[in-house]
Structure 1
Amino acid sequence: MSKPEEYDLVVLGSGEPGKYLAWTFAARGQRAVVIERKYIGGSCPNIACLPSKNIIHSAKVASYFHRSAEFGITAGEWKIDMAAVRERKRKMVEGLVQVHLGKFKSSGAELVMGHGRFTGPKTVEVALRDGGTRVFHGTNVIINTGSRAKIDATPGLKDANPLTHIEALELDRVPEHLIVLGGGYIGLELAQAFRRFGSRVTVVERNSALVHREDADVSEAMEQLFRDEGIAVSTDTVLDRVTGTSGQAVQLHAKRARAEVVIEGTHLLAAAGRTPNTAGIGLETAGVELDARGSVKVDDHLRTTAEGVWAVGDCAGSPQFTHIGFDDFRIVRDNLSGGHRVTTGRQVPSCMFTDPELARIGLSEREAKERGIAYRLAKIPMGQVLRTQTLSETRGFFKALIEKDGDRVLGFTAFGVEAGEVMAVVQTAMSAGLPYTALRDMVLTHPTIAEGLIILFSAVTPKT
């Protein structure tokens, strides 16, 4: 093995937290290198967050064509051109990659394309994409390898060659009948999108409800949305085996309510969870331990079990959101700069980009009850927010949990148009420690969706 090249910072993977660490410390004059196997900038700009939202927006436009008569518009003949939908997405991705390359150049961070693996403490050997090898040793090393779609051991599932979100976003034709395995974020977002493009869609979920970790009213509202859009929902359905081939004809053999069922379609999308990319990169040779789920074991500073080695993002078991990956960057940046910053107690906002959106910050009712936390509940239908009447988007609700004997906002859930944007307003108030009355008494522009917060927080029952 050749003598290692010495760097201040070696980053394995170019996803959100790792690339920002490299750009930041390179801009400060340190030698920083990022090793990337395939996707410059990581999953988010290439195959995940942004491409999926691009496709989802095209589907939303299609839904307006379906609803055109509702708005007094005669649409005439129209059709979905999936190749053009894909091309719009590809152009966006190409532009984002160029932005990333520009950031590497302007910061001075080096980008090396190839497959990296540890060969010793803080030492990474890279099989270069264009041939040859390089070896890097870092004063600090960042593991930033992300996660991938989980294809479990169900007999026949892997052999059926199911789509993951990566392949689904590259389809150039509308599937005749798409079966979506999994009722979580990725599965539901893409299920609705492809239904709006014209596919028959069936969602298969092993748990008793869609988004089963959310409150019952959320799950019920989401399931009603899907049924109203013509999406078949099969909950409490446990997969036994899969036959056939996705893209041609595929059959799911399962049990539902103790009865055997067969669900047939042309395409199968596997969206039933993710697994960390930690295998085959030599972590054991670097003294880096894994937890029971296969994630890199880290403390609340994101330090691994090996001195000078850190782990960030999905591979470290962090909540699987790009915005949490960015916060992981800030935590490691500050700790490497002599500060003290931890993951403990940080806010974890979430938004599912169905239409309407589902957004939440803080406690749900289920979580509050599980923890024995008393609360006062305020809830209003979206139809009370007058802006929704102008948009013909009255589906859903706002609800908030307020502490029983005080005025702090414990949690906020929105299922409705622009839910993610409104959530940010409540999150800001929560971060600032403001009482709910500050939102209740704020002067907000009429007519906006955020104005509904005045109605919501006016519905909080008095303290007893």
Structure 2
Amino acid sequence: MTQPEVFDALVLGSGEGGKYLAWHLARSGQRTAVVERRWIGGSCPNINCLPSKNEIWSAKVADLARHASRFGTQTGPVTVDMAQVRQRKREMVDGLITMHLGNYKASGAELIMGAGRFTAPKTLDVRLNDGGTRTLTANRVFLNVGTHAAIPDVPGLAAAAPMTNIEALELDRAPRHLIVLGGGYVGLELAQAYRRFGSAVTVIEHGPQLAAREDPDVGAELLQIFSDAGIELVLSAETLRVEGRSGDAVRLQLRTPSGERAIEGSDILVAAGRTPNTAGIGLELAGVELGARGYIQVNERLETSAPGVWAIGECAGSPQFTHASFDDFRVIRDNLAGGQRSTRGRLVPYCMFTDPPLARVGLSEREAQQQGIAVRVAKLPMRGVLRTRTIGEQQGFMKALIGADERIVGFMMLGPEAGEVVAAVQMTMLAGLPYQKLRDAILVHPTMGEGLGPLLTNVPAKGA
């Protein structure tokens, strides 16, 4: 039997947290290997975050061009070259891959392209993409295997060969009629983008509102924004069966509160949640326990049930954001150096890159109520922020939740540049400052962030 190659550290999967950990350990002098099936650098630079935002921006440009007359610029008929949209995205991805390969080379970490499967604790057999196998073992093993789009168990859906985000971002055409299953992040971002590329779009959501994790007023505002854009939205809908083939012609039979109905289209995009990539890789032989939904069970230090094995990012149940995976890296890095860092109580912001974008940090009103936390709520329509008058984008609103100690416990914004504005509120929350400090700050005029002043001026008085 061939003796395994011995490393100091072995990372399975090259996503955000895993790759940064590998580069750090290799630079520290440890012999480190990363095993990756396909996506150099993980899903974010290849098939998720960055490629989707690239194409979403192309869709924004198309929308601005169509409405250029509002701003005094006259244009002729606007058409979208989807092959060029895709090429622009591909060129960005190629550049990111080159950057990642440079980082591997500079750090000294070895990138091994192949499919890994555990055969014993801390021992991995790798079926190499270019042929052959390697057996690897290490003192420390880090699991960074990520998730993939879930395909609901609906009769006929799998046979219809629906798209996920991966295929949708590789289209060189705008579907005649795109049917999107799921009214969450991926579904809404791509639904709006393809509407702007010229597709008819229908979004089917199983729950009673879009963006189910948000408060009802947020869902209602999104519903209005998407309806105004000519997107059909079907809520509280159960998909009973699917006929046809995506890319040609499909027919979905739905059960809705008003009865059964059929929707016909050309393409299906499934955006109905994620499934961890933990099946079939021998984790049971590695002594790594999974939870009921297939995610790796970890403690607050991201340690698994197996000694010397950690899990990072989505597969460990961390929030499904690249920036959360990066913080997982920092937790493990600092603890390996003797620190006492934890994932408990992290303040993780997020942003959905619709137009306008939706960003939030901390609690929603619903979550505060569920946790029995008394809050005072301040709201401000985006038209109350003067910057929106200059750019002609006034849909949406801001909302802040203030706790009994005068600190901000939650903030959301559905409006232009929400992902940037939320950072200012997050810093205030991390500093433990009373909301009045941000309310009374001198903020640049005219900016979106300036709206935080009037928003927080709207905080009700105690007892009101």
| TM-score range relative to shorter protein | over 0.9
Secondary structure of 1:209's counterpart equals: coil
Aligned to 2:312: 312
Give runs of aligned pairs for residues 22-33 of structure 1, distance below 5 A: 22-33=22-33
Aligned to 1:233: 233
* Per-residue deviation, 1:72: 1.4
Secondary structure of 1:354's counterpart equals: coil
Aligned to 2:75: 75
Secondary structure of 2:221's counterpart equals: helix
Of 68-77 and 222-231, deviating more is: 68-77
Aligned to 1:409: 408
Aligned to 2:434: 435
Aligned: 1:452 with 2:448: no
* Per-residue deviation, 1:257: 1.0
Secondary structure of 1:116's counterpart equals: strand
Extract unaligned runs of 5+ from structure 1.
none
Give runs of aligned pairs for residues 77-226 of structure 1, distance below 5 A: 77-226=77-226
Q: Verify the 8 A CA contact 1:359 1:419 in the aligned structure 2.
A: yes
Q: Verify the 8 A CA contact 2:62 2:78 in the aligned structure 1.
A: no
- The one-character-per-residue Cα deviations of 1:303-335 (angstroms, maximum 9, x if unpaired) are 111111111111111111101000111111112
CA distance in 1, matches of 2:238, 2:348: 30
Give runs of aligned pairs for residues 381-420 of structure 1, distance below 5 A: 381-403=381-403, 405-420=404-419
Q: Verify the 8 A CA contact 1:406 1:463 in the aligned structure 2.
A: no
CA distance in 2, matches of 1:130, 1:23: 24
Q: Verify the 8 A CA contact 2:238 2:254 in the aligned structure 1.
A: yes
Aligned to 1:327: 327
- TM-score, structure 1 normalization: 0.99
Aligned to 1:359: 359
Aligned structure 1 segments of 4 or more residues deviating by more than 2 angstroms: none
Q: Verify the 8 A CA contact 2:66 2:78 in the aligned structure 1.
A: no
CA distance in 1, matches of 2:229, 2:131: 50
CA distance in 1, matches of 2:8, 2:429: 38
Secondary structure of 2:158's counterpart equals: coil
CA distance in 1, matches of 2:215, 2:438: 24
Question: Quick one: percent identity of the two aligned structures?
Answer: 60
Equivalent residue letter for 1:341: R
* Per-residue deviation, 1:6: 1.0
Q: Verify the 8 A CA contact 1:289 1:304 in the aligned structure 2.
A: yes
Secondary structure of 1:285's counterpart equals: coil
Equivalent residue letter for 1:411: G
State the aligned residue count: 463
Q: Verify the 8 A CA contact 2:407 2:434 in the aligned structure 1.
A: yes
Q: Verify the 8 A CA contact 2:436 2:456 in the aligned structure 1.
A: yes
CA distance in 2, matches of 1:282, 1:401: 45
Secondary structure of 1:254's counterpart equals: strand
- The one-character-per-residue Cα deviations of 1:99-121 (angstroms, maximum 9, x if unpaired) are 00000011111000001010101
* Per-residue deviation, 1:174: 0.7
- TM-score, structure 2 normalization: 0.99
Aligned to 1:5: 5
CA distance in 1, matches of 2:126, 2:233: 45
Equivalent residue letter for 1:254: L
RMSD: 0.8
Extract unaligned runs of 5+ from structure 2.
none
- The one-character-per-residue Cα deviations of 1:361-416 (angstroms, maximum 9, x if unpaired) are 0010010111111011111111111011000011111110001x321001001000
- The one-character-per-residue Cα deviations of 1:160-209 (angstroms, maximum 9, x if unpaired) are 00000000000001100000000000000000000000000000001011
CA distance in 1, matches of 2:278, 2:258: 37
* Per-residue deviation, 1:258: 5.7
